[in-house]
Structure 1
Amino acid sequence: MSDIINLLPDSVANQIAAGEVVQRPASAVKELLENSIDAGADKIQLIVKDAGKSLIQVIDNGCGMSITDARLCFERHATSKIRQAEDLFSIRTMGFRGEAMASIAAISQIELKTRRHEDDLGTCLEIEGSNVVNQEPVATPAGTSISVKNLFYNIPARRNFLKSNPVELKHIIEEFQRLALAHSKIFFSLHHDGNELFHLPASGLKQRLVHLFGNSYNQRLVPVEEETTIIRIQGFVGKPEFAKKTRGEQYFFVNKRFIKDPYLNHAVIGAYEGLLSSETFPLYVLFIEIDPAKIDINVHPTKTEIKYQDDRSIYAIVRSAIKRSLGQYNITPSLDFNQETAFSQMITQKPIDEIVEPSINFNPSFNPFDTEDTKERKDKADGGGQRAANHGSYKAAIPQNWESLYEVTEKVKVNQLNLHDDSEMQTEKQATKQIFQIHNRFIISQIKSGFIVIEQQAAHERVLFERFMRQLEDRQGASQQSLFPQTVTLNQADFELAQELLPHIEALGFQIRPFGKTAFVVEGIPADIGPSLQETQVIEQLLETYKNYQAVDRITKRESVARSLARNAAIKSGTRLDQEAMTDLIDQLFACESPNVSLSNKPIIITFTIGELLTKFGKLS
């Protein structure tokens, strides 16, 4: 039997590696921008077309490459940052594994122009599917310009799995924002299809935040800074009153590398204990500096996860630093009962002999029952006895038309009787329909064989979802005009996503139009969502819920929008419902196509039979 194990050709191995490194255009954007940062550039331009599917171009003024390095950088495991295994534990650069450029070259057509500052001529290199098709000298500015064209051109199956342009552009913007935040001293710009989306001059972190997310963020930020023997943490957190219903701007950076860390996120949320309403999320942009030897960043292909040697201490430091910052800026009480000086600023420091006793002035003849009418009566009095005068004074102080008090009392009695009668009638009506609400969460209704229990929130979500789906099919969603149109400002990524969803949003009954580069004016909202939700809240929640549903491939865009709005517009657990509201909800639920299953594929209705109840009580049915 012949041998069956063979070494893969480099081109095939690179395509396999590309599946890990380059998942979508945003992955290539991240790798190229990081290379420019590592090259020492202070000016980086990103140009994309067709959401990166047709073109991704990065131009920088970094150190550039020699002829040999330009050719070698596309070889697998070629890197300038690692010489030996120990170097993995002292990494301070962005890229280091030497797989990115080889992986990108394996699935695209690349043109590279690069020149070192000390060289007169640069190098132009053209590559298609890992094969070098041309290399020649070229006059080019110092630095590097790399163009990635027709991503996944030779793997059509992968290209077909890419999402729509707005979705892919949203991911590109997210990667761009993360790197722009981590390197605020570098100029960044982003152009898409000829339009400049971002123009970010070199600045401090706060200015970079404002440039990225809008001028309104200038008043929302609370600075955080703490230095210990373990880590140094600095950055900004948002004031509690500006927390959103969506997980918007939340960024952790370790040694300027963006990471995703639920553990540290829990520390941040813990610092806001008692300050945030339920299901709201604060803004934070936090930078942690730590000895590279105490972390392992090579635990995930995208390098967004990190392992720490002392994660518990880091958790405690992050939480206490944020809590202290919120206290210092009068967001939370900052009294320290363990220190004697905690109340020092509240106590006067003057000597005892300088303290002046406050004086109290009062009028001994003041009578609170005196009125102008009383004074006139006193002036006309004939000087009778003091007791008679006092009696007249109190009598005169009684309000006129005092007899009407009896009429008011009688009306109260009648109303109490009416309320009592109404209560009896309501009880009788309720007893007829046999519908009850318990814990403001469940509805119980009697049926012939026993009774049913309905979860009210899940039931209303099902009713609204099927209603919204019909409206999306017919494009006849009812709208209620806003008395005062509201402007909703989004970040660039969410704005692009909202643009994609705009036809579906309008079909549901929204009256909305773009306003500027990242804002919408909402002039009307669907009549079904009621007045309790504000326009900004509805749009933000809809986008966030849509992003969560977006990961489920079997759900269409239209269904995702309907689910998102239904989830946000439905009555919540804990809402008290009157008899009419419960009756209407039950009637609408049983008119649905799938009344028994919630949007999360969980039961909405549970039935209990008389036999089950008798068994619980130890009786035979």
Structure 2
Amino acid sequence: MPDQIVLLPDNIANQIAAGEVIQRPASAVKELLENAVDAGATEIKLIVVDAGKALLQVIDNGSGMSETDARMCFERHATSKIKKIDDLFHIKTMGFRGEALASIAAVAQVELKTKRAADEAGCLLEIENSVVTRQEPVATPDGTSIAMKNLFFNVPARRNFLKSNAAEMRHIVDEFTRVAMSFPHIMFSLTANGQQVFYLEKGTLKQRIVQLLGNHYNAKMVAVKEETDYMNIYGFAGKPETAKKTRGDQYFFVNNRFIKSAYLNHAVMNAYQEMIGSDSFPMYVLFIEIDPEQVDVNVHPTKQEIKFEDEKIIYAFVQAAVKHALAQFSVTPTLDFELDASIQQLSSVSQPFTSGRREEASASPLYKGFTQKNQAHFIERPAASELKHWKEFYEPIKKEEAFFEYEKTPPPMFGSPQRQNNFHVDEHTELLQVLNSYILYPAENRFLLVNQQAAHERILYQQMIAAVDGAPIATQSSMFPATLEMSPADAVLLNELLPYFKVLGFLIEPFGNNSFVIQGTPADFDSGNEKQIIDFTIEQYKHFNSEIKISNREKLIRSLSRQRAIKTGTRLTEREMKQLLSDLFNCEPFNMAPDGNPTYLEFKQEQIERMFGK
């Protein structure tokens, strides 16, 4: 029998290695931008065509390379950063493993032009499938230009896994933002399909943050700065009012390298405790400077996950630094211990609560109904993540354990049958609004407590689904078109969603430089808050990008229905209540909001009587 084990050819080995490092165009953007930074460049330009699938080029004015170095840089594990094993523990550069250029050359057609200031002529190299096809002298400015064309041209299966241009462009903008944020002293520009997306002049960190994340943060950030012998931390944290429902604007850098760390994010969230809601996320851009010996950056192929020698010290330091910054700028909340005079005069406040009264109160069925376990008010709302624990939520409640029962029919995606609709609204139906948020609907031997916002979300969702599947919603032209200013990343996202918005009645047109004009809105839309609706819809859309993979159309419709729905606390006329319930009972299913929460609770007479001891 012949021997079975052979060494892989270099080009195949490189393609396998590329799978770890170059997963999409944005991966190459990260590696090439970091190489330009390591070369000491003061100006770095990124040019992309077709979201990097056709062309991805980085031009810098850094140190350049000799002819020999230009040839060597495409070899596997070729690096100028590490000479001996000890160097691994003192890494201060962005790249160091020597995999990036070899991986890029294995899956794209590469053209490299480079020149050192001391050399009269530069060097041109063309590489395809890890093989040098051309090498000659060339006239070129000092620095390096590397162009990557036709990504995955020789690995069609990998190319097929790439997303739409808009989706891939969003990833490119993310990687560009992370590198540009780290080095505000370097000029960066990004051009996509001939249009300039970013032009970032050299400046301060605060100026760079505002350029990248949007002008609305300009006056709404507090400076974070703490220094010790062990480590330093500096940067900015957003004031509590800037907190969003998505994690988008959160950046951690260790020795100028962007990292992902749920552990450190938890430290920041703890610093904001009681200042923002548990489902909100603060903005922060924080830089940690620490001795490289205390950090291992070599635990992940993209170097975005690192290990600290002592994580607990870092955690405590980050939390304390952010807390101190918020307190220093009078952002932390103050407590008001004064009671309203009218409340103080109430007998329940002014008279002592004796032991006799306590026993009398605790013996009543009403008290027991609201204090014993497994009662109706103990039914917890589903987790914020979409339908994450839907199975537990839809388990039936045992009759002997619960006073209140309500509909818990799963949404259609789980294939449960819809219960027969016996409810209807006519001119004799008497409705009552409670707490400006709920509607009491009487029925035989029972009543429904309808959540007006959840009900309206279900109605709008069903209307939009029908519009997308059939005739688009009619658009009314805006007499005074509103202009939307977006952050670059959100502008890329909105561009991707424009066709869906159009079907749903919103006519939005790009206006250049990350701005848009709202030329029309749905015919039944109240004008005046178009900008707010679109802004919040985009934010909500990103919020839906969680555990369950659903289509862009579905996410947008869910987001829009949530934003346009009648909000909790809105007073409704009797006519509006009747119309709302009539529309709800015509939906299928009518007992479930788009996010899986119930639109109403059902209270039966026998259950209520049991509560009152009958």
Q: TM-score range by the shorter chain?
A: 0.7 to 0.9
Equivalent-residue separation in structure 1 for 2:133 and 2:36 (angstroms): 24
- Would you say 1:123 and 2:123 are equivalent positions? yes
Equivalent-residue separation in structure 2 for 1:292 and 1:19 (angstroms): 28
Task: Name the structure 2 match of 1:493.
Answer: 489
**Corresponding residue SS for 2:36:** helix
Shift of 1:118: 2.4
- Would you say 1:537 and 2:552 are equivalent positions? no
Scaled by the length of structure 2, the TM-score of the pair is 0.74
The residue identity in structure 2 corresponding to 1:545 is Q
Task: Name the structure 1 match of 2:167.
Answer: 167
Task: Name the structure 1 match of 2:197.
Answer: 197
Equivalent-residue separation in structure 2 for 1:592 and 1:445 (angstroms): 17
Task: Name the structure 2 match of 1:466.
Answer: 462
- Would you say 1:510 and 2:506 are equivalent positions? yes
Q: Report the structure number with the largest CA radius of gyration.
A: 1
Shift of 1:581: 5.9
Task: Name the structure 2 match of 1:105.
Answer: 105
Alignment of 1:268-417 (within 5 A): 268-276=268-276, 279-332=279-332
After TM superposition, the structure 1 stretch with the greater mean CA deviation from structure 2, 177-186 or 537-546, is: 537-546
Shift of 1:324: 2.4
Task: Name the structure 2 match of 1:17.
Answer: 17
The residue identity in structure 2 corresponding to 1:492 is P
Task: Name the structure 2 match of 1:403.
Answer: none
Task: Name the structure 2 match of 1:87.
Answer: 87
**Corresponding residue SS for 1:219:** coil
Alpha-carbon contact 1:246-1:540 (below 8 Å) kept? no
Task: Name the structure 2 match of 1:568.
Answer: 563
The residue identity in structure 1 corresponding to 2:559 is S
Equivalent-residue separation in structure 1 for 2:291 and 2:576 (angstroms): 60
Task: Name the structure 2 match of 1:358.
Answer: none
Shift of 1:574: 7.5
The number of equivalent residue pairs is: 525
The Cα offsets for residues 273-318 of structure 1, whole Å up to 9 and x where unpaired, read as: 4444675443322111112222222222222222223333323322
After TM superposition, the structure 1 stretch with the greater mean CA deviation from structure 2, 51-60 or 270-279, is: 270-279
Shift of 1:493: 1.8
Equivalent-residue separation in structure 2 for 1:268 and 1:535 (angstroms): 33
In structure 2, the CA distance between the partners of 1:458 and 1:103, relative to structure 1 (3 Å rule), is farther
Task: Name the structure 1 match of 2:388.
Answer: none
The Cα offsets for residues 158-200 of structure 1, whole Å up to 9 and x where unpaired, read as: 2222222222222212211211110111111111222222222
Alpha-carbon contact 2:275-2:333 (below 8 Å) kept? no
Equivalent-residue separation in structure 1 for 2:333 and 2:584 (angstroms): 47
Alignment of 1:410-429 (within 5 A): none
Equivalent-residue separation in structure 2 for 1:61 and 1:51 (angstroms): 24
Shift of 1:326: 2.8
Task: Name the structure 2 match of 1:379.
Answer: none
Equivalent-residue separation in structure 1 for 2:152 and 2:33 (angstroms): 19
After TM superposition, the structure 1 stretch with the greater mean CA deviation from structure 2, 594-603 or 181-190, is: 594-603
Task: Name the structure 1 match of 2:352.
Answer: none
Equivalent-residue separation in structure 1 for 2:145 and 2:16 (angstroms): 26
Alpha-carbon contact 1:45-1:188 (below 8 Å) kept? yes
Query: Looking at both structures, which has the greater relative contact order when contacts are Cα pairs under 8 Å and sequence separation is at least 6?
Result: 2
Task: Name the structure 1 match of 2:515.
Answer: 519
Task: Name the structure 2 match of 1:371.
Answer: none
Equivalent-residue separation in structure 2 for 1:436 and 1:214 (angstroms): 45
- Would you say 1:140 and 2:136 are equivalent positions? no
**Corresponding residue SS for 2:516:** strand
The Cα offsets for residues 439-489 of structure 1, whole Å up to 9 and x where unpaired, read as: 988878677797878766554433322211222344543567778754321
Equivalent-residue separation in structure 1 for 2:8 and 2:590 (angstroms): 54
Alignment of 1:169-188 (within 5 A): 169-188=169-188
Task: Name the structure 2 match of 1:219.
Answer: 219
Q: Tell me, which stretches of 5 or more residues in structure 1 are unaligned?
A: 336-428
Shift of 1:552: 8.1
The Cα offsets for residues 382-409 of structure 1, whole Å up to 9 and x where unpaired, read as: xxxxxxxxxxxxxxxxxxxxxxxxxxxx
Alpha-carbon contact 1:233-1:286 (below 8 Å) kept? yes
Task: Name the structure 2 match of 1:239.
Answer: 239
Alpha-carbon contact 2:246-2:542 (below 8 Å) kept? no
Alpha-carbon contact 2:246-2:543 (below 8 Å) kept? no
Task: Name the structure 2 match of 1:58.
Answer: 58
In structure 2, the CA distance between the partners of 1:551 and 1:131, relative to structure 1 (3 Å rule), is farther
Task: Name the structure 1 match of 2:541.
Answer: 546
In structure 2, the CA distance between the partners of 1:474 and 1:324, relative to structure 1 (3 Å rule), is same
After TM superposition, the structure 1 stretch with the greater mean CA deviation from structure 2, 446-455 or 34-43, is: 446-455
Q: Quick one: percent identity of the two aligned structures?
A: 55
Shift of 1:241: 3.7
In structure 2, the CA distance between the partners of 1:202 and 1:554, relative to structure 1 (3 Å rule), is closer
Shift of 1:529: 7.0
The residue identity in structure 2 corresponding to 1:128 is E
Task: Name the structure 1 match of 2:553.
Answer: 558
After TM superposition, the structure 1 stretch with the greater mean CA deviation from structure 2, 9-18 or 268-277, is: 268-277
The residue identity in structure 2 corresponding to 1:515 is F
Scaled by the length of structure 1, the TM-score of the pair is 0.73
Equivalent-residue separation in structure 2 for 1:598 and 1:484 (angstroms): 34
In structure 2, the CA distance between the partners of 1:545 and 1:89, relative to structure 1 (3 Å rule), is farther
